[in-house]
Amino acid sequence: MAEAFDRWLPYIQPIAEALIDLADISKGQSILDVASGTGEPSLTLARRYGKKGISIIGVDGAEAMVVRANQKAEVEALTCLEFRQMKAEALDFENAQFDRVISRFGVMLFDDPLLGVSEMRRVLRHGGKMVIAIWSEFYKIPSLYLIWDVLMKAMPEDKQPFTPRIGGLGAEGVLDTLLEEAGFEEDHFEIKPFILTYRYDDFESYWEISTSAGMLKEPLDSLSAEVQADLKKKVEKLTLPYFENGEIVFHNEAILASCVK
């Protein structure tokens, strides 16, 4: 996943920009990026504010992600930034150590989102800001859900994988409750939807990038070549309403939450 994941980065960069704006970073601040994956949004932040004396630590539970992120920081000589392997649910930092805590597309994947977000709040200083991006409900991410839905209908029930965690915090009110239970006061956070538009030149490129790695690949690979080909045809038909000026265009819904401790 660490290698394949980078193909998605251009698609999700707009939400990194929005997250960084909301984080309102200023000179000398210390920032923690939780579930930093292959390095974003930390790398963007380091390029932009590295000379303003900020320091960034990115943490991720997966070693391969951390290795890749550190390689990128090294290649660009981004010395204000380091990545460590660490689970969100057990942050090895002091209380109130950071001015800002950020996370893009990590929280909904945590084994224990409440513990993870409580930890993120614990290490944030009083008056500091936490900004997180998560995905909305799964069916509101049509670029993925379209294939997933056809795929599940093609699989025998006993072979179907669990519904991915990706949309687990996306339903109305779920994130609000989580933030309150983690200790943020009701009038200290704001939640708003954010649309990420994915564009593909043609069906083949959409199919290739969506199925060559990631959560669709494994269930798809478990099917025979014949069933896979049939499924691909079905998906191709379903993409027809998404064509705009010769491109396939999906409007995927994410959620941004900005919280003050």
Ligand X SMILES: C[S@@+](CC[C@H](N)C(=O)[O-])C[C@H]1O[C@@H](n2cnc3c(N)ncnc32)[C@H](O)[C@@H]1O
Which amino acid makes up residue 180? E
CA atoms within a 13 Å half-sphere pointing along the CA-CB vector of 226: 0
Q: Is the peptide bond before 41 cis (omega within 30 degrees of 0)?
A: yes
Residue 3: Cβ within 10 Å count: 10
CB of 186 to ligand X, least distance (A): 26
DSSP designation for 103: E
CB of 259 to ligand X, least distance (A): 17
Nearer to ligand X, 63 or 204 (CB): 63
Nearer to ligand X, 46 or 231 (CB): 46
Nearer to ligand X, 83 or 231 (CB): 83
Please state the length of the chain: 261
Nearer to ligand X, 110 or 198 (CB): 110
> Whose CB is nearest to ligand X?
37
Among the listed residues 46, 242, 232, the one whose alpha carbon sits nearest the alpha carbon of residue 147:
232
Tokens of 228: 């896979």
Nearer to ligand X, 183 or 214 (CB): 214
CB of 48 to ligand X, least distance (A): 16
CB of 34 to ligand X, least distance (A): 6
User: Apex CA 242: angle with CA 106 and CA 166, to 5°?
Assistant: 15
CB of 241 to ligand X, least distance (A): 27
CB of 110 to ligand X, least distance (A): 4
| Residues near ligand X (CB under 6 A) | 35-37, 40, 60-62, 65, 87-89, 104-106, 109-111, 116
Nearer to ligand X, 72 or 104 (CB): 104
All residues at 6 or more sequence positions from 142 whose CB lies less than 8 Å from its CB, including other chains: 242, 250, 251, 252
Q: CA–CA separation, 161 vs 44, rounded Å? A: 35
